[in-house]
Structure 1
Amino acid sequence: MTPGATAPVRLADIVSGLGGELHGDDQRVITRIASLESADETSLSFLAQARFKPLLQATRAGCVLVRADMLPLVPEGASAIVTPDPYLYYARLTRWWLARKRQSDTVGVHGSAVIGQGVVIHPTATVGAFAVIGDRAVIGEHAVIGSHTEVGADAVVGSATRIASRVAFGHDCRIGARGTIHSGAVIGADGFGFAPFEGRWEKIEQLGTVVIGDDVDVGANTCIDRGALDDTVLSDGVKLDNLIQIAHNVRIGAHTAMAGCVGVAGSARIGAGCTFGGAAMILGHLEIGDGVHISAASVVMSSILKPGQYSGVFPIDDNGSWEKNAATLRQLHTLRTRLRALEKKITP
């Protein structure tokens, strides 16, 4: 089967479910969602940015999502759904599409699952094969616990939250409604806390937990450590990519998003509506205000309170040029001192 293909659907069904202004045959059958380049006559695609207009004009897609001003560029014979924000429409279409394609979860507890004492599992929830649910844990309405996943004692999983297979969701941790945690994630491992004593390290027990709000996505193999004393907190709508490290006592504001391999050191406070490019690093005990956007691979070494885009990456170059520029940069303070001395000599 072609990737992304599902049972055929009419354009009329899509517009009925998601809205938009249809131009063309409402009985046209769509079998998959595709990029403009790979689309064929039974595919639906979208134009998110004007700079891709040449791809729109050359596409073979049977239907495209476009803004009204792009409608004249739709190839002859293709249908179009006009919407103010094609990318947002595409996002909602993927969820609508997957809901039709995905097999319904088998409601109930698999016979191989291990269920502790005093556990509350809603009758509409799903607990997969070989899952382990600790004592007094609560699994909410329509929640899904994947196979081989462990939910610790006294943990709470909110309604319609999906935890994939092989996730460790630690004791006392909580996640709200409609969340997603992908495979390999570890929620509520001990934070990195040790006290130095006579040349060795004494462990500091981590007594807090992890509190996750509603509509939060946690990527594969991402780790969120429990707090040392206070909790580690992710507010509503936070989106974390794969392979991210969130250290103990970190607080992340609503609808902040982080790309893969970001690292946030302990007790950092991050505001709402922020974005962090891949491999960005935030040092501990810093404060990042609302609406701050950090470029990929940047290292944040001091607090940032003013909204805006910040970059801290030495630009890539051929190695010879990079070494010369780096060597010059190392001498910058000396050059500054010499320049000031010269200014004093020539200034009356």
Structure 2
Amino acid sequence: MVTSALTLGQLAARLNAELIGNPDIAIQGLASLQHAKPWHLAFLSNSRYKSQLADTQAGAVLIRKEDMGEYKGNALIVPNPYAAFAGLSHLFDQTPKPAAFIHPTAVIAPSAIIDATASIGPYVVIEDEVNIAANVILESHVCIAKGSAIGKGSWLDKHVTVQHHCQLGERVRVHAGTVIGADGFGFAPHEGQWYRIAQLGRVIIGDDVRIGANCTIDRGALDDTTIGNGVIIDNLVQIAHNVQIGDYTAIAANVGIAGSASIGKHCIIGGASGIAGHLSICDHVNLTGMAMITKSINQPGTYSSGTSFAENSQWKKMVVRLRQLADVPLTQLIKQIEHLQARVEQVESRATSYPPSSLPQDD
């Protein structure tokens, strides 16, 4: 719970919302409809949950006008309650924000350029020719390697590593343990051995990007690995060398994207999906969870692969049938079906060609 409160009237003004009820009620935090208390603001973003309005204890609710129904409590009427909730959440965020300060244990190369408003935490390492812009926050044990640049207002959590000559845009947030700019998985086979290929590209990240914990974004082999503006990446995501990701694409946890894949703008990649290398996915593509993409996608839409879960004994039966199907000569069956279909059409055609008077009559 925050120490200071805002009145419902103040929140309505921030959102340009229609206020129904008491504008002087004090709001001290946000909560779900089910768990809200009288000092909370809740929200209803899906009409399917309107029944929860009857029992909520929330002091007020963010809601669309068409969902009000018989609800008589305090309300802020907005066209998109979830987006309004997202905006207000920052007013009640209690994440500590360090002040501008360089911790005495930080190791900083003389050639590094650090804005006076930046915050450099304990045991941070900043190498030669690094540029740290205004209001950047580097928490403890962050390492920024030679020649890299961190844009204004970016925040790198504990133990984040940015390898040499990478560039992060403005207001980028990177969570703990993520590695940006490690070598891509590039090796050439020769006479039974693997020969490492030097990874000569960089990682270029746009503005307003969010990267979860323990992700890896590899540097390009020749061309740069690029992440567009507004991309959001969940935890434990692997992005290989030379991958291109368009603006405002969302990637859920445990996704693996192989080298030189290109993903368009406004895509949604479901959790644990895998995308093979050198493929192209156009804008506005949704991949459901655990999708395995082995061919390029050139049309917007929603794509899935694999089978959904089932009770174990039923699933085993399905697997057996799939294996049996693999042994069926499908080409031969298709030809037989086509032949039978042609015969049926031929018989139907002959039947319709005779007038009713010509057909045999019962005595």
The TM-score bracket by the shorter chain reads over 0.9
Q: Give the Cα–Cα distance (whole angstroms) in 1 for the partners of residues 182 and 25 of structure 2.
A: 51
Residue 183 (structure 2) aligned to one of 183, 190, 194: 190
Q: How does 1:96-107 map to 2 (within 5 A)?
A: 96-98=91-93, 101-107=94-100
Are residue 168 (structure 1) and residue 165 (structure 2) matched? no
Task: Tell me whether 1:289 sits opposite 2:286 in the alignment.
Answer: no
In structure 1, runs of 5+ residues without a counterpart are none
Structure 2 unaligned regions, length at least 5: 344-363
- C-alpha deviation, 1:144, in angstroms: 0.8
Measure the CA separation in 1 of the matches of 2:295 and 2:80.
Answer: 36
1:153 aligns with 2:150: no
Inter-partner Cα distance in structure 1 for 2:272 and 2:107: 38
Q: Percent identity between the aligned chains?
A: 40
Q: Is the 8 A contact 1:278 1:297 kept in 2?
A: yes
Q: Deviations over 1:208-244 (max 9, x none)?
A: 1100000100000011000111110001111100000
In the alignment, is residue 53 of structure 1 matched against residue 50 of structure 2?
yes
After superposition, give the CA deviation of every residue in 1:109-137 in whole Å (9 maximum; x if it has no partner): 11111101211111111111111111110
- Give the TM-score of the pair, scaled to structure 1: 0.94
Q: Say if 1:254 and 1:273, in contact at 8 Å, map to a contact too.
A: yes
**Which whole-Å CA distance do the structure 2 matches of 1:73 and 1:294 have between them?**
38
Kindly report the root-mean-square deviation, in angstroms, between the aligned alpha carbons of the 2 structures.
1.5
Map Cα deviations across residues 84-128 of structure 1 (whole Å, 9 max, x no partner): 000000110112222xx3444210211111101211111111111
Whether the aligned pair in 2 keeps the contact of 1:289 and 1:304 (CA below 8 Å) is: yes
SS at match of 1:72: coil
Aligned equivalents of 1:13, 1:344: Cα separation in 2: 71
User: Quick one: distance in 1 between partners of 2:219 and 2:95?
Assistant: 33
Q: Deviations over 1:185-217 (max 9, x none)?
A: 000011001111222211111111100000100
Residues 284-305 of structure 1, C-alpha deviations (whole Å, 9 max, x = no match): 0000000010000010010001
Contact preservation (8 Å) 1:5, 1:33? no
Q: Distance in 2 between matches of 1:305 and 1:109?
A: 49
Distance 1:238 1:295 in 2: 18
The one-letter code of the counterpart of 1:15 is A
Find the aligned partners of 1:243 and 1:66 in 2 and give their Cα distance. 34
Mapping 1:1-348, distance limit 5 Å: 4-74=1-71, 76=72, 78-98=73-93, 101-332=94-325, 334=328, 336-343=330-337, 346=340, 347-348=342-343
Q: Partners in 1 of 2:338 and 2:11 — Cα distance?
A: 73
TM-score by length of 2: 0.90
Query: In structure 2, how many angstroms separate the alpha carbons of the residues matched to 1:70 and 1:56?
Result: 10
AA of the residue aligned to 1:105 = P
Query: 1:71: Cα distance to partner?
Result: 2.3
Deviation at 1:345, TM superposition (A): 5.5
Pair 1:6–1:282, CA change in 2 (3 A)? farther
CA contact (8 A) 1:6 1:32 kept: no
Contact 2:274-2:290 at 8 Å conserved across structures: yes
Q: Deviation per CA, 1:273-318, whole angstroms, max 9, x where unpaired?
A: 0001110110000000000100000100100010000010301111
Q: Which has the larger radius of gyration?
A: 2
Report the Cα distance in structure 1 between the residues aligned to 2:244 and 2:97, rounded to whole angstroms.
Answer: 35
Name the aligned partner's letter for residue 89 of structure 1. A
Structure 1: distance between partners of 2:339 and 2:98: 80
